[in-house]
């Protein structure tokens, strides 16, 4: 069925938006095959975003953990500091081709907002970003960064004032001004065609990992690990390996203070099937379908749902999803900084933490790729706060 | 069950809205009686939801108040069932699809029937996704109300073909909420829809004053008012029944005696 990943996905959105998503779908189907569009996107990826991103072998970490070899896919080295730029360059280019004048987007950590504001500046588009008020406090620097790039940032004061509320408000804004506005969704979520479009723009990550591993080691990795909020970096890192059944795919969810506590965002561990934000998937919710207020130290994983294609991979048993706590993530964050001289995004540190857990138990000839989806500069202040360190800027 | 069509037998229909359990279910009960007394022809009851993406800030806050007050789908259904004997206008639920889905579609529908609910408005279930619940609605004799937006264009034709009860025309882009003026060309939307369908056609989103109501009722078979009622509930809380009654009465007055 169109727009479905087994039973997941769909288009559960207000009638007002139905022609708009249809228009996006038709434009995408056309442009993804158009030579000129592909050429321009690839040009930007190479010359603007800095692709291909490096695949770095973390020798010290490998030695220290004493098990499987660990490779880091360095999405943190992309322009704007995360994998988000891959998707955004594609979607803003598409919006431009569709004749849209204005871009809107939600953001959690601010990474997608910064990437969107960047692409909008580059391509001369008006840009407005919706960000939960709570997140504008946690990530104040990213707010200013977006403003420097010419975007207008709207703090969202409804609900839990985090990512899910930012998505609500961006959807509402889209229904207000649907004709000249394109909603650049930041993850593999929302109504069809967005989960497909975002995955297609992110799958370059796994395509490169595959090529780089074959060139470097002559074989595929045994395990690919990525963190999962909505799940765009994970989908990007998994996609080209789905058919290679021997490659284990692991998504790391934010377990916050623990999956048994009330403060977590572990959708697969604690959620159940539901319909929200335009899609059928798994959501953290109560027995009446009220979406749960979720929590994670990482604002990018602080989301009560997961993309529908992940829901499918989980149901099929093709990928597994594991919870990682704040504490484990912060330890991994500090570990990578001290061991390899790389400060990862706190989101990506969730994936690292799980790699650190399983690598020592794996045989030495095994190879793990961790998708280092973003850099951690944005998290330095909040990690200091977490550790009770006072810093003055 | 009072059939939805009955709501359109009394001249131009006034459809009023209240969020169930805002600020508590006892107030909701009194408000429903008072709206009926004031001249409401159909009453829409919102099942509170944590993330109502089609609502503006007024109804969002009503959802928050209702949830904070402890309202659940079960408590609301029970309350309405108990009121059944006293309600003679058709009642419809406005609910986001997740509330139906997580409750269990069949269980939800049969409880609706038991409570005397005549129809459902599900703002995040467009034509393409309705198939999932339509057969179960039909088995239970519940109308799934279809929405038509200013952006629906060529979709109108297929939407009206399947529609039951009445057609819910969305007057303007955006979410629910009071608007000073309705800028979309709602007149031509009304004409297109009425040419294509013989079902009653009501218009909602942004209607608050008797003057707006009258203008809209000259084109449509009914008008839907939500945010301006909820505004009064926000202001007067448990004492909102009289202000709501007077408002409803003034709206019904405004659309009385408009010929078809």
Q: How far is A189 from chain B (nearest CA, A)?
A: 16
- Could you write out the DSSP letters of every residue in A181-220? EEE---SS-SSTTHHHHHHHHHTHHHHHHHHHHHHHHSS-
Alpha-carbon span A249 to A368, nearest angstrom:
10
Q: Give me the domain span that covers residue B18.
A: 12-146+207-255
Closest C-alpha to A305, from A320, A287, A285, A290: A285
Contact B126 A11 (CB under 8 A): yes
- Asked if pLDDT for residue A137 goes beyond 90, the answer is no
- Tell me which of A122-126, A172-176, A271-275, B178-182 is least confident: B178-182
Residue A62: C-alpha distances to residues A68, A73, A102, A371, A372 (Å): 7, 15, 46, 15, 16
pLDDT, position A393:
60
**Active-site residue numbers of A?**
84, 106, 373
Rounded-to-integer distance, Cα A208 and Cα A233, Å: 13
Instruction: Tell me the per-residue pLDDT of B133-143, one tens digit each, with 9 for 90 and over.
Output: 999 999 999 99
What pLDDT is attached to residue B258?
86
* Predicted confidence (pLDDT) at residue A141 exceeds the cutoff of 80: yes
The Cα A279–Cα A6 span in angstroms is: 12
Any B CB within 8 A of A281 CB: no
Question: What's the rounded mean pLDDT across residues A319-331?
Answer: 98
The string of pLDDT tens digits covering residues B181-223 is 766 688 899 999 999 999 999 999 889 999 999 999 999 999 9
Show the DSSP H helices in B19-104 as ranges: 25-38, 57-68, 73-83, 97-103
pLDDT of residue A1: 67
Residues 6+ apart with CB under 8 A from A319: A238, A249, A250, A251, A310, A313
Is B25 a member of any domain? yes
Give the mutation candidate from A181, A289, A303, A305 for the B interface (greatest B CB count, under 10 A).
A289
Cβ–Cβ contact A186 with B under 8 A:
no
Mean pLDDT of all residues in B90-111? 98
Provide the CA A65 distance to its chain's centre, in angstroms.
Answer: 27
- Give B249→chain A minimum CA distance, Å: 31
For A344-380, write each residue's pLDDT tens digit: 999 999 999 999 999 999 999 999 999 999 999 989 9
Q: How far is A8 from chain B (nearest CA, A)?
A: 12
B147 touches chain A (CB under 8 A): yes
Q: Is the minimum CB–CB distance between A13 and chain B shorter than 8 Å? A: yes
In a domain, B195, yes or no: no
- Closest chain B CA to residue A276: B98
Peptide bond into A259 cis (omega under 30): no
> At residue B260, does pLDDT exceed 70?
no
Is A326 a residue whose pLDDT tops 70? yes
Summarize the confidence of residues B52-74 as an average pLDDT.
96
**Are B128 and A14 in contact (CB < 8 Å)?**
no
- Mean residue pLDDT of chain B comes to 95
Residue A34 confidence (pLDDT) above 70: yes
User: What per-residue confidence (pLDDT) applies to B177?
Assistant: 80
Provide the pLDDT for residue B218: 94
Inside any domain, residue B2: no
- The interface residues of chain B toward chain A in range 77-106, judged by CB-CB distance below 8 A, are 96-99, 101-103
Of B102, B148, B151, the CB nearest to A289: B102
Q: For residue A316, count other CB atoms closer than 10 A to its CB.
A: 11
Percent of chain A surpassing pLDDT 70? 99
Pairing of strands B222-225, B13-19: parallel
> What is the reported pLDDT for B1?
60
Q: Does position B173 have pLDDT exceeding 90, yes or no?
A: no
Number of separate domains in chain B: 1
Cβ contact A84:A383 at 8 Å: no
CA distance A167 to chain B (A): 9
Per the CB < 8 A criterion, the answer to whether B167 and B148 are in contact is yes
pLDDT surpassing 90 at residue B174: no
**Would you say residue B232 lies in a domain?**
yes
Taking the Cβ of residue B155 and every Cβ of chain A, the question of whether any pair is shorter than 8 Å is answered with: yes
Chain A interface includes B207 (CB < 8 A) = no
Q: Is the pLDDT of residue A61 over 90?
A: yes
Cα(A314)–Cα(A250) distance, integer angstroms: 10
**Is the confidence at residue B66, as pLDDT, over 90?**
yes
Q: A392: distance to nearest CA of chain B, Å?
A: 37
| B69 close to A (CB below 8 A) | no
Tell me if B157 is assigned to some domain.
no
Q: Please count the residues of chain B.
A: 260
Query: What is the secondary structure of A82-130 as a DSSP string?
Result: BTHHHHHHHHHHHHHHTT--EEEEEESSSHHHHHHHHHHHHTT-EEEEE
Average pLDDT over residues B14-24: 98
**pLDDT, tens digit, 9 for 90 and up, residues A62-71:** 999 999 999 9
Peptide bond into A371 cis (omega under 30): no
Is residue B100 in a domain? yes
In a domain, B18, yes or no: yes
Q: What is the pLDDT of residue A208?
A: 98
Q: Closest partner residue to A275 among B50, B97, B174, by Cβ?
A: B97
ipTM of the complex: 0.96
* A165 within 8 A of A156, measured Cβ to Cβ: yes
**With an 8 Å Cβ cutoff, are B173 and A15 in contact?**
no
The two tokens of residue B247 are 């408002």
Report, as an integer, the average pLDDT of A15-36.
97
Whether A11 and B125 lie within 8 Å, measured CB to CB: no
Q: Which of B63, B98, B162 to mutate to test the interface with A (most CBs of A within 10 A)?
A: B98
- Output the domain CATH number for residue B94: 3.20.20.70
Q: Which of A109, A107, A51, A47 is nearest to A77 (CA)?
A: A51
- Alpha carbon of residue A303 to chain centroid: 11
| Mean pLDDT (chain A, rounded) | 96
In B, minimum Cα distance to A291 occurs at B50
Q: Can you give the pTM of this predicted structure?
A: 0.96
Following CA atoms A88, A94, A98, A103 in sequence, which dihedral angle do they give, to the nearest 10 degrees?
0
- Please tell me the distance from the alpha carbon of residue B164 to that of residue B182, in angstroms, as a whole number: 26
Please report residues of A whose CB lies closer than 8 A to that of B151.
15-20, 178-179
Report pLDDT for B183: 66
The first and second tokens of residue A216, run together, are 């470097």
A288 touching B (Cβ < 8 Å): yes
Is A157 at the interface with chain B, CB within 8 A?
no
- Whether residue B243 lies inside any domain: the answer is yes
Q: How confident is the model at residue B164 (pLDDT cuts 50, 70, 90)?
A: very high
């Amino acid at each position: 069925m169109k727009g479905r990943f087994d039973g997941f996905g769909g288009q559960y959105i207000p009638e007002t938006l139905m022609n708009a998503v249809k228009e996006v779908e038709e434009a995408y189907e056309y442009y993804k095959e158009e030579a000129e569009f592909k050429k321009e996107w690839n040009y930007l990826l190479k010359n603007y975003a800095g692709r291909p991103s490096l695949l770095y072998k973390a020798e010290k970490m490998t030695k220290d953990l004493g098990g499987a070899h660990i490779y880091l896919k360095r999405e943190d080295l992309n322009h704007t500091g995360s994998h988000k730029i891959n998707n955004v360059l594609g979607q803003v280019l598409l919006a431009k081709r569709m004749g849209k004048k204005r871009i809107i987007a939600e953001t959690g950590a601010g990474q997608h907002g910064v990437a969107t504001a960047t692409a909008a500046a580059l391509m001369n588009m008006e840009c407005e970003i919706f960000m939960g008020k709570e997140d504008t406090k946690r990530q104040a620097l990213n707010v200013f960064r977006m403003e420097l790039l010419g975007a207008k940032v709207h703090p969202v004061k409804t609900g839990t004032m985090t990512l899910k509320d930012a998505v609500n408000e961006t959807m509402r804004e889209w229904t207000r001004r649907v004709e000249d506005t394109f909603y650049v969704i930041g993850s593999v979520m929302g109504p069809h065609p967005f989960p497909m479009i975002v995955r297609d723009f992110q799958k370059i990550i796994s395509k490169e990992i595959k090529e780089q591993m074959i060139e470097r080691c002559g074989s595929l990795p045994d395990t690919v690990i990525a963190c999962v909020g909505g799940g765009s970096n994970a989908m990007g890192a998994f996609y080209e390996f789905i058919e290679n059944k021997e490659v284990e795919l692991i998504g790391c969810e934010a377990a916050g203070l623990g999956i048994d506590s009330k403060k977590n965002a572990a959708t697969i561990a604690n959620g159940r099937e539901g319909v929200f934000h335009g899609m059928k998937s798994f959501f953290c919710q109560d027995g009446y379908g009220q979406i749960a207020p979720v929590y994670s130290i990482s604002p990018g994983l602080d989301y009560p749902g997961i993309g529908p294609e992940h829901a499918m991979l989980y149901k099929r048993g093709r990928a597994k999803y594991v919870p990682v706590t704040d504490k484990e993530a912060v330890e991994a964050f500090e570990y990578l900084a001290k061991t390899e001289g790389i400060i990862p995004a706190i989101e990506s540190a969730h994936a690292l933490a799980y790699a650190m857990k399983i690598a020592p138990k794996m045989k030495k000839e095994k190879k793990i790729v961790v998708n280092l989806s973003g850099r951690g500069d944005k998290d330095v202040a909040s990690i200091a706060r977490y550790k009770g360190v006072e810093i003055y800027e | 069950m009072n059939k939805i069509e009955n709501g359109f037998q009394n001249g131009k229909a006034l459809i009023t809205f209240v969020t169930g359990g805002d600020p508590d279910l006892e107030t909701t009960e009194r408000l429903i009686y008072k709206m009926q007394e004031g001249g409401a022809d159909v009453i829409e009851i919102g099942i509170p939801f944590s993330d109502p993406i089609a609502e503006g800030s007024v109804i969002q806050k009503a959802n928050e108040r209702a949830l904070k007050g402890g309202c659940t789908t079960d408590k609301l259904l029970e309350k309405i069932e108990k009121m059944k004997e006293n309600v003679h206008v058709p009642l419809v639920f406005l609910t986001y699809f997740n509330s139906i889905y997580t409750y269990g579609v069949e269980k939800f529908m049969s409880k609706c029937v038991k409570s005397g609910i005549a129809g459902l408005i599900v703002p995040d279930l467009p034509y393409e996704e309705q198939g999932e619940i339509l057969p179960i609605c039909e088995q239970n004799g519940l109308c799934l109300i279809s929405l038509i937006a200013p952006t629906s264009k060529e979709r109108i034709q297929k939407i009206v073909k399947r529609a039951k009860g009445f057609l819910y025309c969305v007057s303007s882009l955006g979410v629910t909420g009071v608007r000073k003026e309705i800028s979309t060309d709602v007149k031509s939307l009304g004409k297109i829809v009425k040419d294509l369908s013989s079902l009653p056609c009501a218009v909602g989103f942004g209607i608050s004053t008797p003057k707006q109501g009258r203008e809209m009722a000259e084109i449509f078979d009914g008008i839907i008012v939500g945010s301006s009622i909820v505004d009064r509930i926000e202001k007067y809380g448990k004492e909102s029944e009289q202000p709501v009654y007077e408002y409803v009465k003034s709206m019904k007055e405004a659309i009385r005696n408009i010929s078809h």
